[in-house]
Structure formats: structure tokens, C-alpha cells
Amino acid sequence: MEEKYIEIFNYVKSVLSCSAHNMDHVLRVYKISLEIAETEKDVDLDILVPSALLHDIARVKESEDTSGSVDHSVLGAEMAGDFLKSKNYSDEQIDKIKHCIRAHRFRTGNYPESIEAKILFDADKLDAIGAIGVARCLMLSGQHGQRLTNHENMLEYEKNNIVENGRIKDLAEHTPIVEYETKLKKIPSKLYTESAKKMSKGRMELMNNFFETLKDEIKINI
């Protein structure tokens, strides 16, 4: 990592100190962002690198918040802006970085417009597919005490109105297989850059093969 970004890196590390998972993810997204940037034109690394390092700084605050009103992409953009202001970044740079952070999230209403925002979005999504995507999905699922599948209860969930767009609303009743079917599968169609689309192919092949084999091994037809 270039010397000039170390200060940002240390700030992120201090904010995310309680979550090694988050920090590991941030470093992977940083690396994938640089990989994608190599094949794209006119990328400003002084926008992309701080955005990649700072994109999840509000993750801890989001998960600590019980009201459900904190969106880490929105709050993270504000926190990043405040931090960078104290580090002599220009207003123009700060606005561009805030846009990247705000637009990195799937569900947010802010879509990536600049090339740096598109690269960060794609890098973040690539880390949710492939072997690493499978691993993150399953580890999170274990953390919430979920079962591999609740397919035998799906009819009942639907009857009780706790299914929304194929997803189970109660986190403890949600499952990694439902996560794959309703969300992870669709990631490649959402990507912006050509190199991310290319990188997604091998990753999706492994992920599809993994989940289809899993369903076969546990004898489930969904």
C-alpha cells in the first residue's frame, strides 16, 4: 500500500477494530479494486483507494443500531467526509469519495455514476461470490444460528407472511441456500465494469457448482 494511504488504513482499522471480518473484507475489496482499475481508463486512484478503504467504516455502527435506521453506506459517506476534511482532501475529492461510498450498496437508492464508484461497487460484489462468497455466506449463517435449509417449512412461512420476495424475514429462520437463490445468484447481472464481469464467471461457476452439489448431497430439490 502506498505510504499516502497508510493514515486512512490505520483510521479504518481503529474504527473496525472489533471486527476482524470486516477488516479482512476491506483489504480484499481494496485489492480487487486495484485489479479492476488496471483494465479501466481514467481511474483516479486518489478517489478509488480512499473509497475502497473507507467504504465499510459504518458497519459496526449499523450492526450496533437496534432501530434499523442506520444505513452504513449513507453514514459511512458522512464519517469518511469528516475524516478526510481533517486530512487536507479538497472538497471536490471528498464529494467524489462520498459518492463512491454511498453508491456501493446493493439496496441503497444511490447508483454508481463515476468510474471509481462503479469499480468499488463491483469489487465489493465480487467478494460476495466465488469461494470467498460461499465462505462469507455460510459463516454469517452460522453466526446467526441458521440451518442449511428450511425448505420443509417454506409453505408455513409463506402462510404466516414472513417471506418477502422469496426471502425469509426472520434472520434466524433465513438460510444460506435461500440467500444464494434469492441474492447471490443475481450478482453477475448487476456488475458495471467489463473486467469485473469477466472475473465473475469463474467465481459464479464455483459458487453454482457448490450450491447445486450441496442441494444434491442433502437431497433437496428447490
**Residues in region 110-169 near a second copy by CB under 8 A:** 130-132, 134-135, 138-143, 145-148
Binding pattern for the stretch 48-77 against a second copy, x by CB under 8 A and - elsewhere: ------------------------------
Q: Under the criterion CB under 8 A, does residue 219 sit at the interface with a second copy?
A: yes
Q: Under the criterion CB under 8 A, does residue 42 sit at the interface with a second copy?
A: no
Q: Which of 21, 61, 185, 197 touches a second copy by CB under 8 A?
A: 21
Tell me, what amino acid is at 46? D
Q: Under the criterion CB under 8 A, does residue 195 sit at the interface with a second copy?
A: no
Residue 163 bridge partners (DSSP): 168
Q: Under the criterion CB under 8 A, does residue 221 sit at the interface with a second copy?
A: no
**What are the DSSP calls for 189-202, one per residue?**
GG--SHHHHHHHHH
CA distance 58 to 80: 9
**What are the DSSP calls for 141-202, one per residue?**
HHHTT--S--GGGHHHHHHTT-EETTEESSTTT--HHHHHHHTGGGGGGG--SHHHHHHHHH
Give the interface with a second copy as residue ranges (CB under 8 A): 20-21, 24, 28, 31, 130-132, 134-135, 138-143, 145-148, 176, 203, 206, 209-211, 213-214, 217-219
